[in-house]
Amino acid sequence: MNWEQFEEERKQQLANQTVEKLKNQFPEWFNGNKLGPAVNIEEAKACLSELAKQNPEILPFEQEEITEKALGAITTSCLLLVEKEIAGDLLTALKSLAQFKHWYFTLKNSNYPDIVVFSRKYLNQQNLSLSKIRTFFPKSRVILLAGNLGDRATGEFIENAQSYGFNNIVTGDVPNTPGDRPYTLPVALMYDREEIGCWEIPARAPVEQPVVSKIPVKNTIKELPRREPLLNTLPDNKVEYITTEKEDRPAIPAQKLQTPVIKREEKTSTPDTRQQPILASQAFNTRGKLIISSSTKGGVGKTTIAITKAVALAHAGIKTCLLDFNLAAPDIATFFKIEGVPGIELLAANPFSPSLVMDVLVKVNEYLYVLPGPMDTTNPYFEDGKVGKILDFLLSQFPVLIADTPPEFWTDERLKELFERADRVYSILTQSSFSEEEAKDYAPQYIMCGVKPDQIGLILNMYDPELRDPRKIEASFSVNLKVKDKNSLPRIEAIIPVNYRENVKGTHEGKVVDLDKGYNQIHHVVQKIAQLAGYSYEILSAGRLEENNPKQGFLKKLFQKFKKDV
């Protein structure tokens, strides 16, 4: 052992001693040998620094280095070896992401990082060969930033990297973007390419591809009709067979009916996804938004509203995944006529695997996917942390997740990880006195599940103007919520009138009622969700609908009603 190796070993031992002192002082901070996700990294670093100063064996000029080594040993550490021009922006962008709040990112060289990120330009600047990376970092996961696809140098770099066995390669303009989907840098930090089924790296700039259900389907699932802008003619219906990425799996028939919802020649309220603008808020944070639909009891239209929101977002070209977490009484698969495939129970019964999650997803149309609830009438058991892993992965793949939950959600421990990750929770209410009285008691349960008052929105369903005033219902809901600022209390964001007969009929036919009506207040909720995810959502005014549907006289309406009844 030479002098440099001896010194490195001595410093690592001192770092380990510092870690042990921190464990003895704050045992509640640790989950095994690593810091728990709730621990503030900066606070932990300050404590380690103070402990290093108190150790007489650590020289003053060594204190910072040993503190860094100690922190790297108790966190998921990531070393960023990239060119100086992007280093600061990349470091800031990664630290801002919620999924990495308990990670430790550094630009300083370290001998024991869990993950090392190299950029192609950095390797060229340092004249460092790919063949030497394993020598310098034998125990680290290596991620390579190759650059923009279509660039000849990028293609050559990818071929060279693969020849040395490096497959975790991210393409795209990083950090101005997180990289090319689906294997962006945030995804790469958490998963290998093989884990999420991204075996091949395209030779040119990709067009975002939807997740395709890889579970054999017995009955063809019809695609929901979606709107087309400036539609002049109606294309013929056609059946298109989609092949999966794995050759050993059978092709999946997915009938695509191209009939639009609105047949008039007009610009609809839901633009095509290829024209969907991406706002600045989306630039690097690729984590999607989790929206929950909940209620205190059944029969208030909770599931129907969850489906309506998901379908509206999909019609607007926003890739959405609808999750059925009503594990004891799932209904979403019934609405979409999904049969003959496993549901979420398959994920509960097997070790977590991103590729398995993708296999269970069912494609309804180009922009809407469903994670079915239990399809075998079981009530599945989930190990601690598994629901969170499933959600974190799906949030890395979809801009929006819409989750349906059971009544009395707070009694189900499996849903704790769901509500902890919620970006917005909608509570569905009605004007019944039973619903109102229960809302007073169950509103604080949201807070107990980790949801803040300003993250809660109210939807008043089955509204009848002759019944209780919505303002009183809104006030009753918040009566047991204690907040400093009353403006942060939950507010009614949509009032949906009684349309029971049509809704029941639509449920049997697999149709969403009144979604093409601009005056439907659910559009305001969907617009808020879209903006939260960084997208735009245009609401068609009721006035424009009336231009194409002039008011009819009383006798004409009565005559038409008579014909329908006959």
Give yes or no for a contact between 197 and 355, defined as CB atoms under 8 angstroms apart.
Answer: yes
CB proximity list for 449: less than 8 A, separation 6 or greater: 409, 410, 415, 416, 419, 420
Element at 241 (helix H, strand E): strand 238-242
Euclidean distance between CA atoms 504 and 281, whole angstroms: 39
Name the residue with tokens 């606070």. Answer: 43
Euclidean distance between CA atoms 96 and 99, whole angstroms: 9
* Residue ranges covered by each domain of the chain: 3-196, 272-548
Q: Quick one: CA torsion of 93, 98, 102, 105, rounded to 10 degrees? A: -10
**Closest Cα partner for 332 from 425, 398, 402, 255?**
402
**Closest Cα partner for 19 from 128, 112, 99, 83?**
112
Residue 471 phi, psi (nearest 5): -65, -35
CB proximity list for 264: less than 8 A, separation 6 or greater: 548
Pairing of strands 491-497, 456-463: parallel
Helix (H, G, I), strand (E, B) or coil at 342: coil
Euclidean distance between CA atoms 99 and 388, whole angstroms: 11
3-state secondary structure 378-433: CCCCCCCCHHHHHHHHHHHHCCEEEEECCCCHHHCHHHHHHHHCCCEEEEEECCCH
Radius of gyration of the chain (CA): 27
Q: Is the pTM of this model over 0.75?
A: no
Euclidean distance between CA atoms 291 and 504, whole angstroms: 24
For residue 340, CA distances in Å to 218, 220, 358 come to: 5, 10, 17
Helix (H, G, I), strand (E, B) or coil at 40: coil
| pLDDT, tens digit only, all 566 positions of the chain | 677 778 888 888 999 999 999 999 998 888 778 887 677 788 889 999 999 999 999 999 999 989 988 888 888 889 999 999 999 999 988 888 877 877 889 888 766 788 999 999 999 999 999 999 988 888 899 999 999 988 889 999 999 999 999 999 999 988 888 888 788 898 899 888 887 766 667 655 544 444 444 444 343 334 444 333 333 333 333 333 333 343 343 433 333 333 233 222 333 333 343 335 444 334 455 689 999 999 877 788 899 999 999 999 999 999 999 999 998 889 899 999 999 999 999 999 999 999 899 999 999 998 999 999 999 877 888 988 899 999 999 998 999 999 999 988 888 888 999 999 999 999 998 887 555 667 677 788 888 888 999 999 999 988 888 788 888 888 888 888 888 788 889 999 999 887 655 555 555 555 676 677 767 888 999 999 999 988 888 875 433 433 334 445 544 444 444 444 44
Residue 419 phi, psi (nearest 5): -70, -30
Give yes or no for a contact between 112 and 139, defined as CB atoms under 8 angstroms apart.
Answer: yes
**Closest Cα partner for 233 from 265, 257, 273, 255?**
265
Name the residue with tokens 């950095």. Answer: 122
**Closest Cα partner for 445 from 309, 293, 237, 295?**
295
Buried/exposed 220-237: b ≥16 CB within 10 Å, e otherwise: ebebbebbbeebeeeeee
Euclidean distance between CA atoms 175 and 185, whole angstroms: 9
Euclidean distance between CA atoms 397 and 69, whole angstroms: 33
Name the residue with tokens 């190796």. Answer: 5
Give yes or no for a contact between 171 and 179, defined as CB atoms under 8 angstroms apart.
Answer: yes
Tell me what pLDDT residue 24 has: 92
Length in residues, the chain: 566
Q: Give Cα 206 distance to the centre of its chain.
A: 21
Q: Which two tokens stand for residue 84?
A: 């100086």
Euclidean distance between CA atoms 472 and 460, whole angstroms: 12
Residue 321 phi, psi (nearest 5): -120, 125
> Which residues share a beta bridge with 239?
255
Question: DSSP secondary structure string, 446-458?
Answer: HHHTT--GGGEEE
Helices (H) and strands (E) counted in the chain, each on its own, are 20, 17
Tell me what pLDDT residue 162 has: 92
C-alpha neighbours within 13 Å on the C-beta side of residue 110? 30
Question: Which CATH class for the 272-548 domain?
Answer: alpha beta
3-state secondary structure 123-183: HHHCCCCHHHHHHHCCCCEEEEEEECCCCHHHHHHHHHHHHCCCCCEEECCCCCCCCCCCC
CB proximity list for 236: less than 8 A, separation 6 or greater: 258
* Long-range pairs, 523-526, Cβ under 8 A, ≥24: 523/269, 523/312, 524/493, 524/494, 525/309, 525/426, 525/457, 525/459, 525/493, 525/494, 526/309, 526/312, 526/313, 526/316
Q: Which two tokens stand for residue 479?
A: 């009566």
